[in-house]
Amino acid sequence: MNTDPQYRTGREYRQAQLSRTAFLFSVIALFSCFISIIPLLPYFAGVGAILAAILSRGRDRQYSRQARLGLILGSVAVTIYTAIMVAAFFTFFNGIKDPATRQQISDILYQQTGMTLDDLMRYYGF
C-alpha cells in the first residue's frame, strides 16, 4: 500500500494527498480568475480546493500548511471571480442604457452571432 517512510499510516498519506490537491486546485482557481478560457473554472477549482482542504484535516485539530493555503487561496479566488462577474454584469446592463454603447454591443453581437442586441433581448424575453 504505502511504501513512503514519511507517513505512518494510510490515513496520513491520504491527508497529505488531499492537502496537495487543495493547494493545486487553489492555484488553478487563482490563475483562472484572470486568464479564464473556461468560464466558471475558478468556481469549480476554488470550491474543490476548499472541499479538499476541509477533507484533508480528517480527525486532526489543525490543517497542514498546504491545506491552509489551499483553503485561503481557494476562498480568495472564488471571491475575486464573483466580484469580476458582478462588475461585468453591472457594466453590461448599465452600458446598454447608453445609445452609443448599445449600438457598439449590437454591432459586435451581429458580427459574432448574426443577431442584434434587440433581437437577442426579444428572444430571451427582456
Specify the pLDDT at position 49: 96
Q: What is the pTM of this model?
A: 0.74
Lowest mean pLDDT among 17-31, 59-73, 87-101: 87-101
The pLDDT of 8-34, averaged and rounded, is 89
Q: In sequence order, what DSSP letters do the residues of 97-108 get, joined into one string?
A: TSHHHHHHHHHH
Greatest pairwise CA separation for the chain in angstroms: 69
Residue 116 has pLDDT above 70, yes or no: yes
The pLDDT of 12-34, averaged and rounded, is 92
Specify the pLDDT at position 8: 67
HSE toward the beta carbon, residue 78, CA cutoff 13 A: 16
Q: Could you tell me which of 64, 28, 59, 60 has the C-alpha nearest to residue 44?
A: 28
User: How sure is the predictor about 20, in pLDDT bands with cuts at 50, 70 and 90?
Assistant: very high
80 burial (CB, 10 Å; 0-12 / 13-18 / 19+) is middle
Q: Phi and psi dihedrals of 36, rounded to 5?
A: -90, 105
